[in-house]
Chains A and B, each alone.
Chain A
Amino acid sequence: MASITLDKIGKIYSGGTRAVGDVSIDIADGEFIVLVGPSGCGKSTLLRMVAGLESISEGTVRIGDRVVNDMEPADRDIAMVFQNYALYPHMSVRQNLAYGLKNRRTPKAEIDRRVAQAAEILQIGPYLDRKPRALSGGQRQRVAMGRAIVREPAAFLFDEPLSNLDAKLRVTMRLEIKDLQRRLRTTSIYVTHDQLEAMTLADRLVVLNGGRIEQIGTPLEVYRKPASTFVAGFIGSPAMNLISNRAVPHLPGTAHAGTIGIRPEDLTPAPDGPIDMEILAVEELGAQRLVHGQTGGERLTVTLPSGVELPRTLRLAWRPGSLHLFQAESGRRID
């Protein structure tokens, strides 16, 4: 186990395209860090640079106290779980788990012990002698994690490991990964584009956009105090309403902000509320409903309890202290 330090990491491809720039993250020993962002934000590239699968153009990566920039992936003492699992199709589950240990000349007895232990933890014992193609998606996912566990590495790297599973299984496996990481206390870096997955798994989130860090913080910090309009729009579902200051000029205390953010759940109907919303569409979710509408030419979404008759227009107020203010040009948060 080890801490991981990324110091001013950058990636420039041979064509001159910049994929990642100026990324610095200090990851504590045993911490679960989630890199989250839309596709193309550089999160996978960043993870692959830590793994040693991409070369590092700028900055340094440390695992423990070793600079690993020029080390082979195998020498970095990391294990990785891939999106498509990357199980060796011609090897049995047991051989898949043992392959990395065999290459490191681990004694046979030790390999057997660790494989048995991983199989026990992940409950894949009955499948040890099957080939990957005879397993279900969830079982393959477990084997892929088993391959990481047996190595007892300094860090786990997860590259969107759940995105090939169906929605229900994804929730189950998400809990299992969280539980597993709590028990093993192995430093982990986890890449996903799914903000819900990011929120539920992370000790700390790193929100990336365009190859740069938008914000680092615990899920609640990021949710409660998004550092930019990008983070505000990306984290939280349904997404935060971001409206131009000009659309609602009569909100007090917002004169210096370019953009005002209000979470849909922070808006409530009030007969004399300052916002006048024309309802355009309603999505029933069961326990609650999402009401979409517009005010002053800006789109707005409100979360309301189900079962109430809705008028054509709604007057809305926000909970005190729930407004997020952002600068006009940079989109950065104003506190």
Chain B
Amino acid sequence: MIENRPGLNLLAHLTLMLGVVVVALPVWVAFVASTHTATDFMSGTIPMWPGPHLLENYGRMLDSGVSTSGMPPVGTMMLNSLIMALLIACGKIAISITSAFAIVYFRFPLRRMAFWCIFITLMLPVEVRIVPTFQVVADLGMLNSYAGLSVPLIASATATFLFRQVFLTIPDELTEAARIDGAGPMKFFRDILLPLSRTNIAALFVILFIYGWNQYLWPLLITTSSDYYTIVAGIKRMADAVDGLPQWHLVMATAMLAMLPPVAVVIGMQRLFVKGLVETEK
């Protein structure tokens, strides 16, 4: 800071506080709503302060859900989301790190073509090829399965490029020393590359976990059995399914539960999160 102007500093603080309020507002409103009962909404507007029904509402959703709607308990959906997010995050990391290893440390025919095949996935987000991709997954009998929820999403150019970047910064001499020390390619990969990429893997995991947890369109399409509903895709179904007016206090309790794990990850691992975010865009 160049000059000390209390007025400007105050303005900066006010701006930031306004920002924090705007950012927090919808979550606060949802939280408040999730602590009341359905009758509290009858007055016309929702209250602005939390009510006494927090444990009751959340407990009910986690445990049994909205029985009339045919929706599974939120607990089940959260477990499905967790499985999907973990499979996607781990799967993407696993196949990307081996791909990057192959591309950086080997020379083989069609290497460039393999690189471009991976690159092209950047240009084909699921939203632009929904129908035929759904068809493929249906033909493979992967509807309503954890494999169907995760496998089609785990190809990743971004993660592959990230690891390629990391590997390119590892000095050649380290590889040479390892070769002289008698390490073959897989031993080098396990003993040297993996430990050296540890923080990159962790940072990427944070980003990919959030990505996986927040998937919406794909689970919505390929899960028709409520056993495989994920919470993010399920919340919309719930808002639709509850007869007449949605039971807002329960929908909001579900929304809070749906955002809790990824938000906790971002706040708890903020350093890794920021690192991951910046690196995946490099």
Contact = CB atoms under 8 A, between A and B. Distances in A.
A complexed with B: yes
A80 B174 CA distance: 11
Interface stretch (B57-65, B91-99, B146-154, B179-187): B179-187
B179 A73 contact: yes
B227 interface: no
Contact of A90 (B176, B181, B187, B196): B196
B176 A74 contact: no
A84 B173 contact: yes
B176 A89 contact: no
Contacts of B40: none
Contacts of B187: 103
Interface string B164-184: 000000010110111111110
B176 A103 contact: no
A80 B177 contact: yes
A124 B174 CA distance: 21
B181 A99 contact: yes
A79 interface: yes
B191 interface: yes
Contacts of B86: none
Given A90-B195, A90-B196, A99-B191, A53 B179 contact: yes
Nearest to A72: B179
Given A86-B171, A88-B174, A99-B191, A78 B182 contact: no
Contacts of A99: 178, 181, 183, 191
Given A90-B196, A103-B187, A82 B176 contact: yes
Interface in B197-232: 198
B90 interface: no
A83 interface: yes
A147 B192 CA distance: 16
A13 B87 CA distance: 45
Interface in A63-84: 72-74, 78-80, 82-84
A104 interface: yes
B193 to A, nearest CB: 10
A125 interface: no
A82 B176 CA distance: 9
A137 interface: no
A12 B198 CA distance: 38
A73 B171 CA distance: 18
Interface string A82-99: 111111111000000001
A86 B179 contact: no
A82 B171 CA distance: 11
Contact of B179 (A74, A104, A147): A74
A51 B183 contact: no
Contacts of A79: 180
Nearest to B192: A88
Contacts of A72: 179
Nearest to A53: B176
A100 interface: yes
Nearest to A81: B177
Contacts of A100: 180-182
Given A84-B173, A86-B171, A86-B174, A73 B196 contact: no
Contacts of B183: 74, 99, 103
A88 B177 contact: yes
A310 B196 CA distance: 62
A90 B180 CA distance: 18
A51 B195 contact: no
Interface string B108-131: 000000000000000000000000
A83 B195 contact: no
Contacts of A51: 176, 180
B47 to A, nearest CB: 55
A274 B4 CA distance: 77
A74 B173 contact: no
Contacts of B182: 74, 100, 103-104
Contact of A78 (B180, B191, B192, B196): B180
A82 B177 contact: yes
A316 B91 CA distance: 80
Contacts of B191: 88, 99
B171 A80 contact: no
B148 to A, nearest CB: 38
A58 to B, nearest CB: 21
A110 B155 CA distance: 46
Interface in A251-296: none
Given A103-B182, A103-B187, A104-B182, A80 B192 contact: no
Contacts of B177: 80, 82, 86-88, 147
Contacts of B198: 90
Contacts of B192: 88, 90
Nearest to B181: A100
Contacts of A83: 173
23 contacts: A51-B180, A72-B179, A74-B181, A74-B182, A74-B183, A79-B180, A80-B176, A80-B180, A82-B173, A82-B176, A85-B173, A86-B174, A88-B177, A90-B192, A90-B196, A90-B198, A99-B178, A99-B181, A99-B183, A99-B191, A100-B180, A103-B182, A104-B182
9 A-B pairs with least C-beta separation: A100-B181, A86-B173, A103-B182, A74-B182, A86-B177, A90-B195, A82-B173, A73-B180, A73-B179
